[in-house]
C-alpha cells in the first residue's frame, strides 16, 4: 500500500519548515533511510530520510513551500502502483519518529497553541507590552488566539501570528524609482532572527554595562600554546578562555544563568552551563551551543567551537547543537569591533559581547605601560538582573582572564 510520509516532529518546539531542495523526483526508486529532501526549520537545515524502500509516487510539497508537522510531503509505494482517488485519509501514514494513523486534520494542528475562540472585538486581553509588540509587528490582536489564562494574548502568540503573516507574504510599497531598487526575498532564517530580536527587545528591558579586561598575559599564553594545539589539529583562540571565565562568573552569580517564567512568577536557575556562541553565517547569525562547558578542557572547547562553527556555516548542525543555551557570547571582536550593545538571546537573561583585543597605554604602579585590553559589553534583563549582580559578574570574568593559567 502507498505510504504517506509526513513532516515529522523534529523536537525543540519546531512546528513547521520550508522545503529547500528535493533530492529525489517522482518515479525514482529509493532505499530505506536514503535522504529525500532538505527542509529548513527555524533552527537548522535538516535532511529527512526515506522511512522505507520504494518508488516516489507523488511529491506533495514544492520547493519553497512551508509545511507543518503532520503534513504529507511525499507518497512512497511500489513500482507501478497508483494513487487511488479518495483513499488518502485511509492509507497508512508515517514519520521518521514512528507510525501515525491517517488523520490529517488533527496532525496539522500547531501543538504549541491551544484552540480557543477568538476574543470579542474590543475585548482583547493583553498587557501593554504585548499590544506594543503587536503594533510593531503589524499584527491585528483581534485576530490572535490567546494561549494565556482566560484567553489572554501572550508575547509568543503575537510572534507566531507575525510569523504566519510573513510566510504568507506581503506586498512591497510602491516606490517612485523602482529601477534603483533590488528586491531580495527575505530568507526564512533572517525572518526568524528578526522576529526573535523584536520579541527580545520588547519583552526584556535591556541594560548594558561596558568594561575592559586586561588580557595581556592571556594573549601571551595563547601565543605560547598555539603551536602545540596546531600539532593536534586544533586552532587556538582566546575564546575558550573567555568561555571558562564566563562559567566562573555564572557560578559566582547564579542569577545570570537563569530564565524567567513571568506567567508562573518563577525564576528558573539553571544548574548546567550551556554556552551559546554567536556564529556568523552567509544567511545570518546562528547561535551554536557548547554544552556543559564547565566540564571541558581548553583544547576540547577549541575543537568543539571549530566543529560547531563549520556545521553552522554549512547548515548541517543538529537541533541539539543550536538550542538549549543558558548564556550567550557574541564575539564581534573577530570582525574588528570594539564595544556594542548585544541583544539578549531568549529565554536567557544576559549576553556578553566581546570586542577586539588591542594594546593600550595604562597606568600600573604609577608607571605608564603597554597592556592588551579586551572590550567587554554585558547586556542584561533588568527585570531580574540589577547593576550589582551584573557588575560583580563582569568583574569576576575579568579577574579570571587576568590569570588565565588558572582556567586551564
pTM > 0.85: yes or no: no
User: CA-to-CA distance for 250 and 261, rounded, in angstroms?
Assistant: 20
**Closest to 133 in 3D by CA, of 159, 166, 167, 164:** 159
Judging by DSSP bridges, how do beta strands 275-281 and 327-330 pair with one another? parallel
User: CA-to-CA distance for 157 and 349, rounded, in angstroms?
Assistant: 21
pLDDT of the residue at 85: 54
pLDDT of the residue at 179: 65
In Å, what is the CA distance from 64 to each residue of 39, 189, 260? 9, 13, 36
Give the dihedral sign, CA 328/207/268/323. Answer: negative
Q: Can you give the C-alpha Rg of the chain in angstroms?
A: 25
**Domains of the chain in sequence order:** 3-107 (2.40.50.100), 114-167+188-203 (4.10.320.10), 206-407 (3.30.559.10)
* 105 is a catalytic site residue: no
User: CA-to-CA distance for 330 and 242, rounded, in angstroms?
Assistant: 11
User: CA-to-CA distance for 319 and 37, rounded, in angstroms?
Assistant: 17
pLDDT of the residue at 139: 85
Give CA 132 to chain center in angstroms.
24
The three grid cell numbers given for residue 160, joined into one nine-digit string = 507566531
pLDDT of the residue at 388: 95
In Å, what is the CA distance from 347 to each residue of 257, 259, 269, 297, 385? 10, 6, 12, 27, 14
Q: What is the pLDDT along the chain (408 residues), one digit of tens a residue?
A: 788 899 887 765 677 888 888 999 998 999 988 989 988 877 678 888 999 898 998 999 888 888 888 899 999 988 777 765 544 434 444 444 444 333 333 323 333 343 444 444 446 777 666 777 787 778 888 888 888 767 878 877 887 787 676 555 444 444 455 667 787 777 777 777 787 888 788 788 999 999 999 999 999 999 999 999 999 999 999 999 999 999 999 999 999 999 999 888 899 999 999 999 999 888 888 999 999 999 999 999 999 999 999 999 888 888 889 999 999 999 999 889 899 999 999 999 999 999 999 999 999 999 999 999 999 999 999 999 999 999 999 999 999 999 999 887
pLDDT of the residue at 43: 67
pLDDT of the residue at 121: 46
User: CA-to-CA distance for 151 and 156, rounded, in angstroms?
Assistant: 13
The three grid cell numbers given for residue 403, joined into one nine-digit string = 590569570
User: CA-to-CA distance for 404 and 118, rounded, in angstroms?
Assistant: 57
pLDDT of the residue at 147: 80
pLDDT of the residue at 224: 95
Amino acid at each position: 500500500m502507498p505510504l504517506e510520509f509526513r513532516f515529522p516532529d523534529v523536537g525543540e518546539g519546531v512546528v513547521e519548515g520550508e522545503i529547500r531542495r528535493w533530492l529525489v523526483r517522482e518515479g525514482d526508486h529509493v532505499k530505506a533511510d536514503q535522504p529525500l529532501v532538505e527542509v529548513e526549520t527555524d533552527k537548522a537545515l535538516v535532511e529527512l530520510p526515506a522511512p522505507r524502500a520504494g518508488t516516489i509516487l507523488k511529491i506533495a510539497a514544492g520547493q519553497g513551500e512551508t509545511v507543518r508537522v503532520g503534513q504529507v510531503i511525499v507518497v512512497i509505494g511500489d513500482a507501478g502502483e497508483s494513487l487511488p482517488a479518495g483513499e488518502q485519509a485511509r492509507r497508512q501514514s508515517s514519520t521518521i519518529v514512528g507510525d501515525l494513523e491517517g488523520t490529517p486534520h488533527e496532525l496539522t494542528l500547531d501543538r504549541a497553541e491551544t484552540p480557543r475562540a477568538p476574543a470579542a472585538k474590543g475585548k482583547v486581553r493583553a498587557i501593554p507590552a504585548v499590544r506594543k509588540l503587536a503594533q510593531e509587528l503589524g499584527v491585528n490582536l483581534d485576530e490572535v488566539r490567546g494561549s494565556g489564562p482566560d484567553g489572554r494574548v501572550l508575547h509568543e502568540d503575537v510572534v507566531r501570528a507575525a510569523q504566519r503573516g510573513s510566510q504568507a507574504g506581503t506586498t512591497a510599497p510602491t516606490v517612485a524609482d523602482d529601477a534603483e531598487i533590488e528586491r531580495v526575498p527575505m530568507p526564512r532564517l533572517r525572518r526568524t532572527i528578526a522576529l526573535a530580536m523584536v520579541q527580545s527587545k520588547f519583552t526584556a528591558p535591556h541594560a548594558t554595562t561596558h568594561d575592559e579586561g586586561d588580557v595581556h598575559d592571556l594573549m601571551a599564553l595563547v601565543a605560547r600554546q598555539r603551536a602545540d594545539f596546531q600539532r593536534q589539529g586544533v586552532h587556538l583562540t582566546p575564546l575558550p578562555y573567555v568561555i571558562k571565565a564566563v562559567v566562573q562568573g555564572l557560578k559566582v552569580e547564579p542569577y545570570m544563568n537563569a530564565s524567567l517564567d513571568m506567567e508562573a512568577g518563577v525564576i528558573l536557575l539553571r544548574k548546567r552551563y550551556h554556552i551559546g556562541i554567536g556564529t556568523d553565517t552567509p544567511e545570518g547569525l546562528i547561535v551554536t551551543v557548547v554544552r556543559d562547558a564547565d566540564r571541558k578542557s581548553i583544547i576540547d572547547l577549541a575543537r568543539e567551537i571549530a566543529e560547531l562553527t563549520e556545521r553552522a556555516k554549512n547548515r548541517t548542525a543538529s537541533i541539539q547543537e543550536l538550542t538549549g543555551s543558558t548564556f550567550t557570547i557574541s564575539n564581534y571582536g573577530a570582525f574588528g569591533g570594539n564595544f556594542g550593545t548585544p541583544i539578549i538571546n531568549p529565554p536567557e537573561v544576559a549576553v556578553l559581547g566581546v570586542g577586539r583585543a588591542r594594546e593600550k597605554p595604562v597606568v600600573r604602579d604609577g608607571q605608564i605601560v603597554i597592556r592588551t585590553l579586551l572590550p567587554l559589553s554585558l547586556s542584561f534583563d533588568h527585570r531580574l538582573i540589577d547593576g550589582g549582580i551584573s557588575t560583580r559578574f563582569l568583574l569576576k570574568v575579568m579577574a579570571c582572564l587576568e590569570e588565565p593559567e588558572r582556567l586551564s
